[in-house]
């Protein structure tokens, strides 16, 4: 190619590149919006930076017109997206990008994302999981607020801040880590996280903001670092499971409602730098039994301990000057509380029923005397000193001064105010009842003030020369005192008879040591110089105030620690500002279980021991339980099939072996299968789940038990039963005594013929044939064919019903609808049905007297409209004969004569009378008559006669007789 052509080609390429670059600029301006589909989901993106020749552009996910609300399931944010041949790295999620997307269950963010905007996932109520990329440095305000299904969140190490309400109302959030570089946690960040049980705030966070853990009602453990200096309002509001919390002495403020309704909180220490307990701080802390208030607190607000019903005692420090409204309302178990003498304001509301202790002449005494006179008692505080600030005074004749003694302590219960004044010489100095002294004449006198057993004396010089001291000294030049102590410095005047003893006292640091009229008060640890001066001389004493250590303690009454874990134990000192050496020496009673060094406790193996801290002569011990929480629990197999009675080893593996978690093994049906000593025992056919629970872990094995019953049989395979009769067939097992449940299930093929109950009892309910089937062991069956018939009528009888009838009767047949009677005039003759009846007897009339007739009976039952018959009875016969005479009467008419009468018998031709002279003799006919009476004459006196009568009917030329009547007896 020649040079001209090459130059032309270069120009064309350059022009093309410029055109392309112009196209890029036109299509990829910052702020432009496009959509991109990835993993079957379309999201909207906004361009943040333009692509270059060497680098991709950047874009963020946005929520255009609320379209993201309709997303469902898993959302996968890609690392890069393209639009019109241009590529962008996805680096951010815009604020509100997925807000109210209630059907999203999971979000996967690419590792190129460096920020997530405010409220980006707010109200994603189905969101269960999301990964926070390592490049994200902060969680913004409301980012995950309302994600009520989110269970756990892992924050990368680079996250240094959590914004306001970031995880608000994440009601299922049970686990979140806070990176060690965390510096701030915003207001309400975890408010409403009701499943959160513990949290560890990293060192470096300085403020617990307002409402941070509000309504976290399952939060039981919170670790606050020593870097915390402030706790906001409502910080732990309604944390009803919180039992204890360590508050560093660096904390200067605890906000209102901070521990409101922390109903499980048992003890707490008010940090040393806190000067005011705000309103409702411990409202409704019903388990709070112990509280320490530092001597820096000056004010206790309204409702602070309202309804702290388990609070037993409280010591209000002397620094407190005001107590708010209803502060101790509902503290029903609180022992009498002592109101400091410095309190100048008490709010309205009830105090403990046990009352309060107040100091004499204090504001509290005045208050309770006026409003609650039944509540208070005076503190028994003996008077230590009653003195005059000047024990020598010069006055002129006629001059008056008023003396007033000083008391220590100023609020002693011995100060009655009733002082008796006397003068040793009223001609020189007079004194009245108010302590006013008047110079009456030149000279010297002693003025004495007496209050009970206490007195003070002042030497009064009237009209004499005023002698000024030339020098003064103090009885002490160096003095060591403990904080809270008080003593008096004594001045030595030179000359000793100096009369001008007016002096001025000063303290170089009244916050350390205060002085009044020579009495000094040690207030805070430190050094101060107390000086006293007259016009011409001065003296001083250096006071060193110490604060000896009285107690060491911690926030732990016991510690439970997992094997291998460590915990830092912070000692607290009482007093906090002690001047004693606070170096602690730590030791463990059993270092094989736990070791401790410089307060760092390390758990070595499961067991119990104590760690002991020693500071000087003081000790503090904490029981320690080292736990080995279970990490895994598994059965050697997931399922097993056994036969009833079989026992098989199944290994349960629990790791670690020395776990302190209890293993509890249960069966969903112990009648089917149980687990003991490493084996499963099959008891009966069925299914059961054996579950082993250890700590928070569990494992299960499905057990299927088959029967050991090989077969069953019935003692009868065929049966004939009459309707109304019941029977129970017996079941025979193979093997004879199986382990499996021997319960039999019974069934009838026709319940209109036979019903069978759960125990195998057969109940005949209709005629016909049915098969009874017994089932045991799940599928082992045996059957019996049962035929049910009507029974044969029982006790069939045929008797003469009179001279021309026969009466047939029979017993009831169960289930019968009726009966049919068949008759014949010969036993082997042809039988014809003569009656169909529901009765149990029948009289056949129109028969020939003396002729025998034959009968048989059968029952029938309707089955639908059809009759089903039972078998016939055996044949029975009856012959119609005249009836026996009735209403027979035998009476003696006179000596040797009787009268024998009877009623007429239908169809009778006549009657025959028979007589015998004894029971054993043969009866002889004494009369044949058609009459209805007979008179027998010529009978022997004293003899007994026996009579009977029968009826006869003449058929042809032959008599047919009835049976004889009963025998009648008469004695002549």
Residue 18, pLDDT score: 41
Residue 11, pLDDT score: 42
How far is the C-alpha of 300 from the C-alpha of 281, rounded, in Å?
Answer: 10
- Angle at Cα 23 formed by Cα 19 and Cα 24, nearest 5°? 120
User: Residue 572: what are its φ and ψ, rounded to 5°?
Assistant: -110, 150
* DSSP secondary structure letters along 709-760: --EEEES-SEEEEETT-EE-PPEEEESSS-SS----EEEES-TTTEEE-TT-
Give residue 325's region: left, alpha or beta (phi > 0; psi -120 to 50): beta
Residue 372, pLDDT score: 87
Which domains are delineated in the chain? 28-196 (3.80.10.10), 380-464 (2.60.40.1080), 466-546 (2.60.40.1080), 551-627 (2.60.40.1080), 632-706 (2.60.40.1080), 711-789 (2.60.40.1080), 797-878 (2.60.40.10), 889-971 (2.60.40.10)
Residue 28, pLDDT score: 54
pTM of structure? 0.64
The stretches in the chain having pLDDT less than 50 are 1-27
Residue 416, pLDDT score: 87
* DSSP secondary structure letters along 479-531: EEEETT-EEEPPEEEESTT------EEEES-TTTEEEETTEEEE-SSEEEEEE
At residue 770, the 3 state secondary structure works out as strand
How far is the C-alpha of 318 from the C-alpha of 338, rounded, in Å?
Answer: 10
Longest Cα pair distance anywhere in the chain, in angstroms?
Answer: 192
Residue 8, pLDDT score: 44
Percentages (nearest 5) of helix, strand, coil residues in the chain? 5, 40, 55
User: What count of Cα atoms within 13 Å lies in the side-chain half-sphere of residue 717?
Assistant: 4
> Residue 363 is inside which H or E element, if any?
helix 363-371
């Amino acid at each position: 190619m020649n040079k001209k052509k090459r130059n032309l080609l270069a120009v064309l390429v350059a022009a093309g590149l410029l055109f392309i670059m112009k196209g890029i600029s036109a299509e990829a301006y910052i702020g432009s919006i496009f959509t991109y589909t990835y993993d079957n989901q379309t999201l909207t993106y906004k361009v943040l930076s333009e692509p270059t020749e060497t680098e991709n552009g950047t874009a963020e996910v946005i929520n255009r017109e609320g379209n993201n609300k309709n997303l469902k399931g898993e959302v996968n944010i890609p690392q890069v997206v393209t639009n019109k041949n241009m590529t962008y790295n996805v680096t951010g999620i815009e604020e509100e990008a997925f807000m109210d997307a209630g059907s999203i269950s999971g979000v996967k963010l690419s590792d190129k994302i460096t920020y997530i905007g405010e409220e980006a996932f707010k109200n994603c109520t189905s969101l269960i999981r999301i990964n926070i990329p390592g490049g994200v440095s902060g969680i913004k305000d409301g980012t995950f607020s309302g994600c009520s299904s989110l269970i756990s969140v892992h924050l990368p190490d680079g996250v240094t801040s959590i914004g306001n309400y970031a995880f608000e109302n994440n009601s299922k959030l049970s686990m979140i880590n806070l990176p060690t570089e965390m510096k701030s946690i915003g207001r309400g960040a975890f408010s409403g996280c009701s499943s959160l049980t513990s949290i560890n705030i990293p060192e470096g966070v300085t403020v617990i903001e307002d409402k941070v853990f509000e309504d976290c009602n399952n939060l039981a453990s919170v670790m606050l670092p020593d870097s915390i200096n402030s706790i906001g309002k409502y910080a732990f509001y309604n944390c009803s499971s919180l039992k204890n919390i360590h508050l560093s002495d660096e904390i200067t403020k605890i906000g209102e409602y901070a521990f409101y309704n922390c109903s499980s909180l048992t003890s707490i220490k008010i940090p040393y730098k806190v000067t005011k307990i705000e309103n409702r701080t411990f409202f409704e802390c019903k388990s709070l039994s112990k509280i320490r208030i530092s001597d820096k607190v000056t004010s206790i607000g309204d409702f602070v301990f309202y309804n702290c019903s388990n609070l037993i005692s409280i010591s209000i420090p002397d620094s407190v000057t005001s107590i708010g409204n209803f502060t101790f309302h509902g503290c029903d178990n609180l022992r009498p509380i002592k109101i400091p003498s410095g309190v100048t304001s008490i709010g309205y509301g009830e105090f403990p029923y046990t009352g309060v202790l107040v100091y004499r002449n204090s504001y509290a005494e005045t208050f309770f005397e006026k409003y609650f006179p039944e509540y208070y008692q005076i503190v028994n505080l003996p008077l230590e000193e009653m003195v005059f600030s000047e024990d020598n005074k010069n006055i002129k004749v006629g001059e008056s001064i008023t003396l007033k003694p000083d008391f220590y302590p100023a609020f002693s219960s011995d100060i009655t105010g009733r002082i008796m004044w006397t003068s040793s010489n009223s001609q020189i100095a007079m004194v009245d009842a108010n302590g006013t002294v008047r110079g009456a004449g030149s000279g010297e006198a002693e003025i004495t003030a007496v209050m009970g057993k206490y007195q003070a004396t002042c030497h009064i010089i009237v009209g004499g020369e005023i002698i000024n001291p030339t020098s003064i000294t103090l009885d002490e030049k160096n003095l060591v005192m403990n904080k809270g102590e008080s003593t008096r410095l004594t001045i030595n005047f030179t000359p000793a008879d100096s009369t001008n003893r007016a002096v001025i006292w000063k303290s170089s640091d009244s916050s350390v040591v205060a002085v009044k009229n020579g009495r000094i008060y040690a207030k805070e640890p430190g050094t101060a110089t107390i000086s006293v001066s007259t016009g011409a001389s001065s003296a001083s004493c250096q006071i060193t105030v110490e604060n000896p250590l009285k107690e060491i303690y911690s926030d732990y009454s016991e510690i439970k620690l997992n094997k291998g874990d460590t915990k830092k134990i912070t000692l607290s000192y009482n007093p906090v500002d002690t001047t004693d050496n606070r170096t602690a020496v730590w030791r463990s009673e059993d270092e094989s279980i736990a070791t401790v060094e410089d307060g760092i406790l390390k758990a070595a193996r499961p067991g119990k021991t104590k760690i002991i801290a020693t500071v000087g002569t003081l000790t503090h011990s904490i029981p320690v339980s080292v736990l080995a929480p279970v990490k895994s629990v598994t059965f050697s197999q997931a399922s097993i099939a056994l036969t009833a009675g079989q026992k098989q080893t199944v290994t349960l593996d629990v790791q670690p072996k020395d776990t302190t978690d209890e293993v509890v093994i249960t069966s969903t049906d112990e009648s089917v299968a149980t687990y003991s000593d490493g084996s499963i025992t099959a008891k009966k056919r069925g299914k059961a789940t054996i579950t082993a629970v250890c700590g928070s872990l569990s494992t299960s094995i499905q057990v299927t038990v088959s029967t050991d019953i090989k077969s069953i049989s019935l003692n009868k395979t065929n049966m004939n039963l009459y309707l109304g009769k019941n029977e129970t067939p017996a079941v025979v097992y193979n093997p004879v005594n199986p382990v499996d449940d021997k319960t039999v299930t019974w069934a009838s093929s026709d319940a209109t013929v036979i019903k069978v109950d759960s125990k195998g009892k057969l109940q005949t309910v209709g005629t016909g044939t049915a098969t009874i089937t017994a089932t045991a062991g799940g599928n082992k069956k045996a059957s019996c064919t049962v035929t049910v018939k009507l029974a044969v009528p029982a006790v069939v009888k045929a008797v003469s019903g009179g001279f021309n009838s026969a009466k047939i009767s029979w017993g009831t047949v169960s289930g019968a609808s009726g009966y049919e009677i068949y008759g014949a005039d010969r036993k082997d003759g042809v039988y014809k049905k003569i009656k169909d009846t529901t009765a149990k007897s029948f009289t056949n009339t129109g028969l020939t007297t003396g002729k025998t007739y034959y009968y048989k009976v059968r029952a029938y039952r309707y089955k639908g409209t059809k009759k089903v018959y039972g078998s016939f009875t055996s044949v029975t016969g009856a012959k119609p004969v005249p009836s026996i005479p009735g209403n027979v009467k035998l009476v003696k008419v006179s000596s040797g004569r009787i009268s024998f009468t009877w009623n007429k018998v239908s169809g009778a031709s006549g009657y025959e009378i028979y007589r015998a002279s004894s029971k054993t003799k043969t009866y002889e006919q004494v009369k044949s008559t058609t009459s209805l009476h007979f008179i027998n004459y010529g009978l022997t006196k004293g003899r007994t006669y026996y009579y009977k009568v029968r009826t006869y009917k003449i058929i042809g030329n032959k008599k047919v007789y009835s049976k004889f009547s009963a025998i009648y007896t008469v004695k002549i």
